[in-house]
Amino acid sequence: MNLANCPNCGRLFVKTSFRDICEDCYKEEEEAFEKVYHFLRKRENRMATMAQIVDATGVKESLLIKFIQSGRLKLAQFPNLTYPCARCGTLIRKGKLCENCLKDLNQQLEELQKDEERKKRRQAESIYYTKRNDENKF
């Protein structure tokens, strides 16, 4: 357990693997989750988009995304609920990155690995060895 400042209000609290905010902010988040959950439980609201949920409940979009990414809101039950890709902003339904960003990052990683391999080969090729001369013993 570590002492940390709450990212929401700045208060000092004991940070655990279960909670990344202070007790007061946690209670506020729980109240916000209850609002969202009760809103989405109604059959007519299950097709709501992120913007509609924000307008109806007053809960911030960033908090809704946190609920989704932590698994508290299951997108399988809400077909119109999406959130933006962390890199480009494209609307997605799972993970943090869209398919295009994942492909791009994987290509960049492959290129980086190839460059590292080339550097290692060049270093291995440029090493010179000398034959030991028993007479001089250097």
Mean pLDDT of 35-45: 93
My answer on whether 30 and 8 are in the same domain is: yes
**How sure is the predictor about 26, in pLDDT bands with cuts at 50, 70 and 90?**
very high
My answer on whether 45 and 108 are in the same domain is: no
My answer on whether 74 and 39 are in the same domain is: yes
My answer on whether 29 and 88 are in the same domain is: yes
pTM of the model: 0.69
How many domains does the structure of the chain reveal? 2
Mean pLDDT of 105-133: 83
- 27 pLDDT more than 70: yes
My answer on whether 47 and 107 are in the same domain is: no
**How sure is the predictor about 90, in pLDDT bands with cuts at 50, 70 and 90?**
very high
In this structure, which amino acid lies at residue 121? R
In this structure, which amino acid lies at residue 70? S
My answer on whether 50 and 85 are in the same domain is: yes
- Percent pLDDT > 70 in the chain is 90
C-alpha to C-alpha distances, 129 to 45, 90, 126, 135, nearest whole angstrom: 75, 55, 10, 18
State the average pLDDT for the chain.
88
Mean pLDDT of 28-50: 93
Dihedral angle sign, alpha carbons of residues 45, 41, 92, 51: positive
Could you give the CA distance from residue 112 to residue 39 in angstroms, rounded to a whole number? 47
* Domain of 116, in residue numbers: 98-137
Closest CA to 28 of 7, 3, 49: 7
My answer on whether 88 and 114 are in the same domain is: no
My answer on whether 103 and 83 are in the same domain is: no
Mean pLDDT of 39-51: 92
Q: CA-based angle 51:70:10, to the nearest 5?
A: 85
My answer on whether 39 and 105 are in the same domain is: no
- Relative orientation angle of helices 61-69 and 50-57, to the nearest 10 degrees: 120
My answer on whether 67 and 118 are in the same domain is: no
My answer on whether 24 and 67 are in the same domain is: yes
Closest CA to 73 of 100, 35, 27: 35
